[in-house]
Structure 1
Amino acid sequence: MLGLGKTTLASRVYSSSPVISHFHIRAWCTVSQIYSRYNLLVQILCGICSRHPVKYLEVDEDDLALELKRVLIKTKYLLVLDDLWDVEAWNFLKNSLPNDANRSRILITSRLQNLSLGFSEAHHLRHLTDEESWQLLQKKLFGKDGCPPSLSGVGFQMAKSCRGLPLTVIHVAGILATTAQNCWEGVASRLSSSVVLDDEYFMKTLDLSYSHLPDDLKPCLLYFGAFQVDEYVFVRRLLWLWISEGFVRATEGTSLEDVAEGYLKDLIDRSLVMVSKQGTTGGAKACRIHALVHKFCVIKAKEENFLHIIHSGKDLSSLTGLRKPYRVCDQNVRNSKISELPNLRSLLLFKKSGLMPKREYLGSKLLRVLDLGNLVFDAHFLMEVVLLVHLRYLALHIGGIESIPSAIANLSRLQTFLVRGSSWKYLLPEAIWNIKTLRHLCTTSSSCGFTFPVENLEVSPDLVHLDSLNLAIDPSSQSLENILRKLPSIRRLKCRRVRPSEEPTRTSDGTLVFDNLSRLKSLSLHFFDGYGFKFPSNLKKLTLSYNQQPWSEISTIGKLPNLEVLKLLHDSFVGEEWEMKEEGFLALRVLKLIDLHFRSWTASSESFRRLEKLVVHECQKLEEVPSYLGECATLEMIEVKGCGESVVSSVKQIQQEQMDMGIADLKIIIENCGDAWST
């Protein structure tokens, strides 16, 4: 049954160091009851190739199957098929999974015991004993300290009421974590009063957990019902949706994004939301909810007329009599009768791909949130969208368009504009400066961005609320500094150099100035070869690629007092030697070096004092990692991929030095470096 820990166990295996080092390729695919063959193939390919699903929009199912087979052939791979419900999905996929007798493996989780797939005997998970449930509840609530004696009686009673289901234990712990200890008896009585079993019992437990939520968190949890079962939801997109929906309460001195992040953390701490992918510094980058929690959210959202999921025309016909404003998530994308819902506030087409729906979708002029997924739209449809003057959030995939129409200024309440597409730049109209509510102007790919108009900048209003921006710019136009002056609140900025096709690559002695951005926390710079940079002291995260700076320039970055994450990618720096003769990077926690062509790297004992994670990928000329890192007491993990044996040897030496210091927790991951190994 659900909640016994099948996916958790599979995830532990999938993420373990020996498994990572043993297989050349790993991919995770969540199947579930409702699936499409196309989406299964795209999900696996995206996991293997680290590509966005948009890249496969124009590829048909047969070609995807051939591409998957081509990628996997002659490699040793591990594929996890999570939550498999029928043999047909397996029969379809197995034709694309070559068996080269090289110890590739397929791991499947399923609720069904009678699947005949030709695998070895299944490993069945049992329920926990009452004592094991009590141990788990104590661990979640009190860690190593254990439960106070005064609470052990009622605590054991509640653990026993969970009937050996680990997921229920965890959710009960989430309830108790925010309940005064003198009120535990009341929670225990409500749990023990339920005599139903299995899913229905768990739903009652969830209802209890939901009733304990603060009012601000209830709509945030129910909103997960709009996504697919087991879907990994990118945190930034989720928080922007919450803000646009009006769920996030403004707090003086704190940005809405930070408040929303606090809401998510609270839901995670209550064990209602799970972190599916961590960011570089440990925060959540993607999250999901358990299938049973998803089921609860869908049912509860429908009961409260909060959100309705449409799978067919029959689902839609049941809504047309409702007059209260509500949200609709259409997972069918053929229901043109959406126009019959005149009070509709939010329309979410969370579908991986498909044909453009009919324009009758825009029947409701009261729409505040419109997310059209990966469906491709043309210029005509975009001109109709800009008539929805109440929009706060707009996400769509546009094809064959490089200029955003000036009519977008009609959307005077717009907060988030998210574009998916194949173009490498989108030219914004001069009227964009009049949308004073804008908070996020972003594309789904770092290879493209928005280009601002530079005419009449001196008389254009500032975008005082803009928080996140993907920018494409020609730095030789001298407009970058003038544009950034109009964005005083920017916190996340990605810049890509736009090089006119008729202008050859050239070297410049210019310097790009960012040090006037007092709130900037995250900065990414791509293709600015020949330019220097001035960074703000408040910067926490810096990503560089294809800038071809000499290693002598990196000392400037090393002096940034608050820099915690540094990613040097794809010829961001060039030269044979990175030599650090002075102290630097004193706040750095994460360092990623990917596809760099330097040979020697030395560091002084005054550098990298707080480093926690080092990633070195495809640095094939590098001879060794600095031995000084063995003295770094904060180091938790080193990950090396596609490097020479000498780098592996230096990492072994660092691990030995750590052990000599009495530190045995350093995690080492080695992939595709000759004789792979791990500890």
Structure 2
Amino acid sequence: MVTTRIEKVTKQLQHHSDPYSLNFLTSEESWELLEKKVFRGEICPPDLLEAGLQVSLHCKGLPLVVVLIAGIIAKREREASLWLEVANDLSSLALGEQSMKVIQSSYDHLEDHLKPCLLYMALFPEDHKIPVDHLLKLWMAEEFVLNAGTENMEKACRVCMTDLLNRSLIMVSGMRFYRDVEYCSLHDVVREFCLRKLTEDKYMQLAVPFNPYQHLHSTESRLCIYIHDDLVKQLDHSNYQLDKIPMLDFKETNSLEFIAHPKLNTWNNQYSNPFNLLVKLRFVRALDLMDVELPDSWATAIQSLTELRYLALCVKQFELKWISHLHNLQTLQLKSSDEKLRLRAATLSEMTNLRHVKIDCFFMVLENNEQESSSTTMLENMKSFGTCDICLDNMNARPWWMFPNLEELSLNIKDVPEFPLFPIAEVHSHLHFLTLEFPLIQLFELVGWERYCVFPSNLRHLDLATCFLTEEMVLNIARLKKLESLQLSMGFASMRYCWDVTNVEFAALKYLGLFFMQIEEWKASEESFPVLEKLVISGWPGFKDIKEIPPSFADILTLRRIELFDCTDSLGVSALNIKRAIEENTGCDSLQVFIQK
């Protein structure tokens, strides 16, 4: 038997059977192991039980930590108060010589570009579930990730994330059916190790930069200092003269690059306005002020931050021209609830490095005239474009036409389509994720709007909100032969609350989510969902709810899980009947049914 922390090793050794991946221990398993190691087969005394459970819970399922902590408390007096001290100071106790060697060994064997990726994660708060999509954009902004070309930058970041997962250095904190890992986190012991590595360098980190014209092992490394409260205070007291700050022991201060980390950097009341700091730190690459209420002068203060790659703002007023000079910007996130945003296509085309745009809570008006349309640059780097409220008409621009390599698109359309949203299928051959919200009330009053909703043929994931499921609309969805996941929410079936897909086949669909749908009766054949693996239904108390899952679901050989939330009792009964039928037909307990009221 061979054990390893690196998944690639197991694949090279694989012979007669697949590698067995060890999961983290459950709370019960952690306590069982701790009790066995501390009491050597005896039962834990009742007065120590609660404290012992707290200790095992703080180990967070890592067997190595359970064993190390068991060795520590076994040598202490058997008092609940002393055991609780151990639980509260677990990181420092667990990070002893043995565990230090284990983590240090894993860290030393990381490729150079993976080390800063791991250390960066340690700067999020303890036990923080880090959104993977958010983290990858930050990695790109800091140029931690090496990649062959800008077109594959997101893919390169995903590979780095997979490498860290496969080496058991980071944990999966949340999965989504159609996008792999949604959240990740660091075990407390790994995080403590990373923070110590950063502390050894006085909050500084040497990292090889991304540069297509520079050799990987160039000596011209970049020096990064993570902004934290102590540094902010020292900067303020020294009038932002970097050479007067004791912790910054280097000669060439002009080469310094700062990271304004979104979760680490919390300005208190005395330092509530970050602009005095920003105007001095002109090399900042990632700036997230989504949780900071910015004064109206933000646009002036941000003028000097020309190296920004990642910018997230919560503002009352915004015009794209205020940041159009940020030619290195890759990610732009905006949030507001007060003003109308006018997005000019010509201004947007100046920012050729933009890859991800997300605009929430604006009512967006897209402007584009014929003269601008002819001169507008195609933004070939744009990968995702999302907005809240958008108004379209025949005289208005559809900016996603400017993004030929777009992979994700999210739109909240405030009027009924009067023209095809995707008239030329070849333009968006890379589009895999599409989210659309329609004005439901208006759809009831018009006929023929469905013909404008013919989707790009390579879609893999479709999310439709407040949609009227007419027969033509359902057929438009079924034509997507690569569609793996479909989520429908807040919509209606067209035939008196009956959704009949008996003669419709969703050939590649693996996930189906129905959320707050006004459907009373659902009809389907065994050919309707031939490869479905997961069904999720969330009810809407007081409204029309699905009463039964079609019995034909018992004939779907691939079905593995049904989840029901706030649904009718009859729907739960039908799910359990399907589970029972599968067991009788196959002799296997292959279907999981989860019901929550």
TM-score (norm 1): 0.64
Task: Work out which of the residue numbers 225, 238, 248 in structure 1 matches 2:135.
Answer: 238
1:234 is displaced (CA, Å) by 0.5
> Is the Cα contact below 8 Å between 1:449 and 1:495 reproduced in 2?
no
> Is the Cα contact below 8 Å between 2:122 and 2:186 reproduced in 1?
no
Query: Following superposition of structure 1 onto structure 2, how do residues 213-232 of structure 1 map, counting pairs within 5 Å?
Result: 213-232=110-129
Gap regions ≥5 residues in structure 2: 1-21, 31-46, 72-91, 206-220, 243-253, 444-448
Q: Does the alignment pair 1:454 with 2:368? A: yes
Q: Does the alignment pair 1:613 with 2:534? A: yes
Q: Does the alignment pair 1:199 with 2:95? A: yes
Cα distance in 1 for partners of 2:29, 2:532 equals 25
Task: Identify if the C-alpha distance between structure 1 residues 167 and 523 changes in structure 2 by more than 3 Å, giving closer, same or farther.
Answer: farther
Cα distance in 2 for partners of 1:254, 1:413 equals 15
> Is the Cα contact below 8 Å between 2:509 and 2:532 reproduced in 1?
yes
Query: Following superposition of structure 1 onto structure 2, how do residues 478-497 of structure 1 map, counting pairs within 5 Å?
Result: 478-481=395-398, 483-497=399-413
Query: Which moved further from structure 2: 381-390 or 327-336?
Result: 327-336
Aligned length: 481
> Is the Cα contact below 8 Å between 2:291 and 2:314 reproduced in 1?
yes
For 1:89, the equivalent position in structure 2 comes to none
Matched residue SS, 2:117 = helix
Cα distance in 2 for partners of 1:11, 1:426 equals 53
Q: What code does the residue aligned with 2:478 have?
A: G
Cα distance in 1 for partners of 2:290, 2:329 equals 18
Task: Identify if the C-alpha distance between structure 1 residues 557 and 394 changes in structure 2 by more than 3 Å, giving closer, same or farther.
Answer: same
For 1:164, the equivalent position in structure 2 comes to 67
Q: Does the alignment pair 1:431 with 2:347? A: yes
Task: Identify if the C-alpha distance between structure 1 residues 419 and 335 changes in structure 2 by more than 3 Å, giving closer, same or farther.
Answer: farther
Query: Following superposition of structure 1 onto structure 2, how do residues 579-618 of structure 1 map, counting pairs within 5 Å?
Result: 579-618=500-539
> Is the Cα contact below 8 Å between 1:333 and 1:349 reproduced in 2?
no
> Is the Cα contact below 8 Å between 1:555 and 1:584 reproduced in 2?
no
For 1:337, the equivalent position in structure 2 comes to 235
Q: Does the alignment pair 1:346 with 2:259? A: yes
Cα distance in 2 for partners of 1:366, 1:252 equals 23
Q: Does the alignment pair 1:468 with 2:371? A: no
Query: Following superposition of structure 1 onto structure 2, how do residues 489-568 of structure 1 map, counting pairs within 5 Å?
Result: 489-498=405-414, 510-513=419-422, 515=425, 516-529=427-440, 530=443, 531-532=449-450, 533-568=453-488
For 1:275, the equivalent position in structure 2 comes to 172
Q: Does the alignment pair 1:636 with 2:553? A: no
> Is the Cα contact below 8 Å between 2:366 and 2:397 reproduced in 1?
no
Task: Identify if the C-alpha distance between structure 1 residues 345 and 581 changes in structure 2 by more than 3 Å, giving closer, same or farther.
Answer: same
Task: Identify if the C-alpha distance between structure 1 residues 478 and 558 changes in structure 2 by more than 3 Å, giving closer, same or farther.
Answer: farther
For residues 594-644 of structure 1, the C-alpha deviation after alignment (integer angstroms, 9 at most, x for no partner) is: 111111111122121111110010154312111111111111110111221
Matched residue SS, 1:542 = strand
Cα distance in 1 for partners of 2:234, 2:494 equals 55
Query: Which moved further from structure 2: 340-349 or 373-382?
Result: 340-349
Cα distance in 1 for partners of 2:143, 2:573 equals 54
> Is the Cα contact below 8 Å between 2:94 and 2:189 reproduced in 1?
no
Q: What code does the residue aligned with 2:95 have?
A: D
1:538 is displaced (CA, Å) by 0.7
> Is the Cα contact below 8 Å between 1:551 and 1:573 reproduced in 2?
no
Query: Following superposition of structure 1 onto structure 2, how do residues 310-389 of structure 1 map, counting pairs within 5 Å?
Result: 325-330=223-228, 335=233, 337=235, 339-341=240-242, 343-350=256-263, 356-362=272-278, 363-389=280-306
Task: Identify if the C-alpha distance between structure 1 residues 247 and 628 changes in structure 2 by more than 3 Å, giving closer, same or farther.
Answer: same
Matched residue SS, 2:322 = helix
Cα distance in 1 for partners of 2:307, 2:282 equals 7
Cα distance in 1 for partners of 2:401, 2:190 equals 45
For residues 81-121 of structure 1, the C-alpha deviation after alignment (integer angstroms, 9 at most, x for no partner) is: xxxxxxxxxxxxxxxxxxxxxxxxxxxxxxxxxxxxx9993
Cα distance in 1 for partners of 2:492, 2:299 equals 37
For residues 173-212 of structure 1, the C-alpha deviation after alignment (integer angstroms, 9 at most, x for no partner) is: xxxxxxxxxxxxxxxxxxxxxxx98422222321111001
- Higher relative contact order (Cα pairs below 8 Å, separated by 6+ residues): 1
> Is the Cα contact below 8 Å between 1:352 and 1:374 reproduced in 2?
no
Cα distance in 1 for partners of 2:392, 2:305 equals 35
For residues 295-351 of structure 1, the C-alpha deviation after alignment (integer angstroms, 9 at most, x for no partner) is: 11122123356748xxxxxxxxxxxxxx97323243579648264446333212416
1:663 is displaced (CA, Å) by 2.7
> Is the Cα contact below 8 Å between 1:396 and 1:418 reproduced in 2?
yes
Matched residue SS, 2:160 = helix
> Is the Cα contact below 8 Å between 1:563 and 1:587 reproduced in 2?
yes
Task: Identify if the C-alpha distance between structure 1 residues 266 and 469 changes in structure 2 by more than 3 Å, giving closer, same or farther.
Answer: same
1:535 is displaced (CA, Å) by 0.6
> Is the Cα contact below 8 Å between 1:417 and 1:440 reproduced in 2?
yes
For 2:26, the equivalent position in structure 1 comes to 9
Cα distance in 1 for partners of 2:28, 2:130 equals 17
Q: What code does the residue aligned with 1:638 have?
A: I
1:421 is displaced (CA, Å) by 3.4
Q: What code does the residue aligned with 2:353 have?
A: T
Cα distance in 2 for partners of 1:263, 1:253 equals 15
Cα distance in 2 for partners of 1:616, 1:360 equals 51
Matched residue SS, 1:386 = helix
Matched residue SS, 2:226 = strand
Query: Following superposition of structure 1 onto structure 2, how do residues 36-435 of structure 1 map, counting pairs within 5 Å?
Result: 121-124=50-53, 164-165=67-68, 198-201=94-97, 202-251=99-148, 255-281=152-178, 283-304=180-201, 307=204, 325-330=223-228, 335=233, 337=235, 339-341=240-242, 343-350=256-263, 356-362=272-278, 363-398=280-315, 400-401=316-317, 403-423=318-338, 426-429=341-344, 430-435=346-351
Q: What code does the residue aligned with 2:527 have?
A: E
Task: Identify if the C-alpha distance between structure 1 residues 405 and 553 changes in structure 2 by more than 3 Å, giving closer, same or farther.
Answer: closer
Q: What code does the residue aligned with 1:523 have?
A: L
Task: Identify if the C-alpha distance between structure 1 residues 460 and 119 changes in structure 2 by more than 3 Å, giving closer, same or farther.
Answer: farther
Q: What code does the residue aligned with 1:9 have?
A: T
Task: Identify if the C-alpha distance between structure 1 residues 352 and 360 changes in structure 2 by more than 3 Å, giving closer, same or farther.
Answer: closer
Gap regions ≥5 residues in structure 1: 14-117, 128-132, 138-158, 169-195, 309-322, 500-506, 673-679
1:552 is displaced (CA, Å) by 4.5
Q: What code does the residue aligned with 2:558 have?
A: T
Cα distance in 1 for partners of 2:379, 2:69 equals 49
For 1:57, the equivalent position in structure 2 comes to none
> Is the Cα contact below 8 Å between 1:583 and 1:605 reproduced in 2?
no
Matched residue SS, 2:312 = strand
Cα distance in 2 for partners of 1:167, 1:428 equals 60
Q: Does the alignment pair 1:653 with 2:565? A: no
1:425 is displaced (CA, Å) by 5.7
Task: Work out which of the residue numbers 629, 639, 663 in structure 1 matches 2:588.
Answer: 663
Q: What code does the residue aligned with 2:96 have?
A: E
For 2:357, the equivalent position in structure 1 comes to 441
> Is the Cα contact below 8 Å between 2:384 and 2:407 reproduced in 1?
yes
Matched residue SS, 2:26 = helix
Cα distance in 1 for partners of 2:150, 2:223 equals 32
> Is the Cα contact below 8 Å between 1:225 and 1:301 reproduced in 2?
no
1:382 is displaced (CA, Å) by 2.7
Cα distance in 1 for partners of 2:582, 2:259 equals 54
Query: Which moved further from structure 2: 463-472 or 542-551?
Result: 542-551
Q: What code does the residue aligned with 2:368 have?
A: V
Cα distance in 2 for partners of 1:463, 1:578 equals 40
